[in-house]
C-alpha cells in the first residue's frame, strides 16, 4: 500500500486506486489484458505469473485492507493456499461455526493426517486462547458464517502470536469498508471476492491480503505453482465491483438494520441475529425447518440462493446443507440483504412470514 493511500478514506481508495497513469489519451480504467504469453526479458514471462488487470485489482484491495493482495481463482483456492502454509500434523484452531467450505477443507485435511484441527466457540475468548497454545495457525471469522458471532480479534491475535501461530481472518462478511483485520493483529486476510467485493453475483474469485512481505512471496509462489489464478475478465469485473463497494455496503447495512428492527416484532420469528453491522442477518423461525423452507419458497423479491453479498437480496435455510454444524438451528434463515428499497423488501418478507401464522 502506498503512503498516499494511508491518508485516504476507504471510499476514496475504492474509487481511485488501481488506475492507469494520468497521461494524455491513456484509459481511465485498467483494460482487460488478454494474454497467456509475454515477450521474454521482463519480470512476468508467462500468464500464470501475473497480469496487469489482476495487478490493478490487487492494488486496490491491498490499499483497502492495508497490505499486499493476491487474487485467486476462487475463495476456496485462497483458503486452500493459506492452509497449505501449515506443516504436517500441525494444529489449526478454527471456529465451530464458519464458512462451510473452510470447515470441509479442514475436515478433509485432518482425515488424511495432514493437519490436526480444534474447533472452538469463537465468542469464548479465553477458550480460544487456551486452544491456541500449541497452534500453528488460528483461523477466525468475525462475524461467523452463518451464526453471526463476533470474535475479539485484537486479544486473540496477540495471544496467538505469543504462542507462535499465524492468525488468519476471513473478512468476507465485514469487508474492508467495515473492518480491517491487519490493523487488529491478523497476519492474513482472506476474501471470497465472489461475494461483497465483486458484488453482482457474476463471477468466482478469491483473495488473500498480508502485510508480511515474506508471507506474500510464499503465497504468490504457491498460487503460481498450483495455477490457482483468476481469469482476466473476472479480475476486471471484480475491480469494477470494488469501485462501488462502499456505497453498496452502506445501503445494505442500512436496509439490514431496518429489517432487524421490524423482524423483532413478528410472531413467526423466534430470534433475530445481527452483529450490529454489515448486511447479513440471521432469522430463526419459530416453526423450525418447515417454516424456513416455506418462507424461502414464498417470496417475490427475495431470491432463494446459497451465495451472498450481491446487490440483490438472497436467503436460505442453512441446515438444508447436510454438512452444516448441528449447533446451527434448523430454522435459521441466513439473509443477505441487498440494496433494494427496504419497504419493498419488508413487504415481501412480511407477507411470507404472515403466511406461517395463518
Catalytic choice (170, 196, 251, 274): 170
Helix (H) or strand (E) holding 288: helix 288-296
* Cα 243 from Cα 91, distance rounded (Å): 38
**Closest to 193 in 3D by CA, of 78, 316, 29, 347:** 78
| DSSP symbol at 222 | H
Concerning whether 48 is annotated as a catalytic residue, the answer is: yes
* Cα 334 from Cα 356, distance rounded (Å): 18
How is residue 329 written as a grid cell? 438451528
Concerning whether 170 is annotated as a catalytic residue, the answer is: yes
**Closest to 160 in 3D by CA, of 94, 110, 213, 109:** 94
Concerning whether 99 is annotated as a catalytic residue, the answer is: yes
- Report the phi/psi class of residue 101: left, alpha or beta, with left for phi > 0 and alpha for psi in -120 to 50: alpha
Map 339-353 to HEC letters.
CCCHHHHHHHHHHHH
* Cα 333 from Cα 76, distance rounded (Å): 23
Catalytic choice (48, 294, 320, 350): 48
Catalytic choice (68, 114, 195, 318): 195
Residues serving a catalytic function are 48, 99, 170, 195
Amino acid at each position: 500500500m502506498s503512503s498516499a493511500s494511508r491518508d485516504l478514506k476507504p471510499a476514496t481508495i475504492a474509487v481511485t486506486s488501481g488506475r492507469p497513469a494520468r497521461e494524455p489519451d491513456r484509459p481511465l480504467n485498467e483494460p482487460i489484458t488478454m494474454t497467456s504469453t509475454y515477450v521474454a526479458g521482463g519480470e512476468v514471462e508467462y500468464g500464470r505469473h501475473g497480469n496487469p488487470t489482476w495487478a490493478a485489482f490487487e492494488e486496490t484491495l491491498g490499499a483497502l485492507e492495508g497490505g499486499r493482495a493476491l487474487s485467486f481463482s476462487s475463495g476456496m483456492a485462497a483458503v486452500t493456499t493459506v492452509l497449505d502454509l501449515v506443516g504436517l500434523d500441525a494444529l489449526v484452531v478454527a471456529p465451530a461455526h464458519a464458512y462451510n467450505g473452510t470447515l470441509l477443507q479442514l475436515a478433509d485435511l485432518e482425515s488424511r493426517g495432514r493437519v490436526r484441527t480444534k474447533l472452538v466457540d469463537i465468542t469464548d475468548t479465553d477458550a480460544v486462547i487456551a486452544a491456541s497454545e500449541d497452534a500453528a495457525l488460528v483461523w477466525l471469522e468475525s462475524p461467523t458464517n452463518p451464526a453471526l458471532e463476533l470474535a475479539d480479534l485484537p486479544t486473540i491475535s496477540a495471544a496467538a502470536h505469543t504462542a507462535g501461530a499465524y492468525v488468519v481472518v476471513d473478512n468476507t462478511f465485514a469487508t474492508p469498508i467495515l473492518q480491517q483485520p491487519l490493523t487488529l493483529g491478523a497476519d492474513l486476510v482472506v476474501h471470497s471476492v465472489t461475494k461483497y467485493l465483486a458484488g453482482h453475483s457474476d463471477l468466482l474469485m478469491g483473495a488473500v491480503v498480508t502485510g508480511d512481505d515474506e508471507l506474500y512471496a510464499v503465497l504468490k509462489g504457491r498460487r503460481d505453482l498450483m495455477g490457482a489464478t483468476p481469469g482476466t475478465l473476472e479480475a476486471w469485473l471484480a475491480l469494477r465491483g470494488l469501485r462501488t463497494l462502499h456505497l453498496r455496503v452502506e445501503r445494505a447495512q442500512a436496509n439490514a438494520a431496518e429489517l432487524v428492527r421490524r423482524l423483532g416484532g413478528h410472531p413467526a420469528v423466534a430470534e433475530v441475529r445481527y452483529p450490529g453491522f454489515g448486511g447479513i442477518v440471521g432469522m430463526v423461525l419459530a416453526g423450525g425447518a418447515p417454516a424456513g423452507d416455506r418462507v424461502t419458497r414464498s417470496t417475490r423479491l427475495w431470491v432463494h440462493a446459497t451465495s451472498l453479498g450481491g446487490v440483490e437480496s438472497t436467503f436460505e435455510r442453512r441446515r438444508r446443507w447436510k454438512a452444516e454444524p448441528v449447533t446451527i438451528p434448523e430454522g435459521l434463515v441466513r439473509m443477505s440483504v441487498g440494496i433494494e428499497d427496504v419497504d419493498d423488501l419488508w413487504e415481501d418478507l412480511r407477507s411470507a412470514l404472515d403466511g406461517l401464522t395463518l
